[in-house]
Amino acid sequence: MTRRRREDNMRKVYILMILFLAAVSSSFGQVGQSSQRSQLGSLQRYLFSPDLVMRNQDVLALTEEQRGQLVQEVQQAQASFTELNWNLQKEVQDLTTMFEKSAIEEAGILEQFDAVLDLERQVKRTHLVLTLRMRNILDGEQLAKLDEMRRKRGKNLRERWSTLKKQR
């Protein structure tokens, strides 16, 4: 397989994963979300998205062994995401059906809601496992480069936001 083809395949896997993660997020988690973000936000500085690693693989000077390991981890996670998404969609449909009845059973709905929340937790856990494994594949210099890239991007976004606010 040529390098170009491997890169294209890796891009496709990452794009599918990103699209899946965006689709999975639901309105169930919006209540109290800001407090969760602030509590977990401090952990985000230690983790890097698969997309950031993929887009910067040349800058990071990934070895062929690292690339192979990263692709393998993403493919394993993608398989889990696909199964979890199917299960999650079914559980949400079942929950929706329960709400459509004229008389709703509170205990049943709460049990079904717990099933939905458990699957969402599994999706988040799978994503965390992926990012942890990716982090362990990279060396200290590569992690420092990713951290610097993220800081620069954050600074640029804050500057753009500030400029937009001033223009109003």
What would the two tokens of residue 26 be? 């639901």
Asked whether residue 35 carries a pLDDT value surpassing 50, the answer given is no
The secondary structure of residue 46, as a DSSP letter, is: T
pTM, two decimal places = 0.66
The pLDDT assigned to 29 comes to 43
pLDDT per residue as tens digits for the range 113-160:
999 999 999 999 999 999 999 999 999 999 999 999 888 876 666 667
Q: Which two tokens stand for residue 77?
A: 């996670």
Please report, rounded to a whole number, the percentage of residues in the chain having pLDDT higher than 70: 71
Domain ranges (residues) in the chain: 3-23+48-142
Cα distances (Å, whole numbers) of residue 146 to 10, 51, 70, 133, 141 = 18, 11, 15, 15, 9
- What pLDDT band is residue 53 in, cutting at 50, 70 and 90? very high
Contacts 24+ apart (CB under 8 A), 88-93: 88/24, 88/116, 88/119, 88/120, 88/123, 91/115, 91/116, 91/119, 92/26, 92/116
What is the predicted pLDDT for the residue at 66?
96
Q: Residue 11 pLDDT more than 60?
A: no
pLDDT tens per residue, range 97-113: 998 888 888 999 999 99
User: Is the pLDDT score of 25 beyond 70?
Assistant: no
**pLDDT value of position 31:** 39
Range from 27-31, 80-84, 141-145, 146-150 carrying the lowest mean pLDDT: 27-31
* Alpha carbons 66 and 138: distance in angstroms, whole number: 7
Angle between helices 64-100 and 3-24 (to 10 degrees): 30
**What count of residues does the chain have?**
168
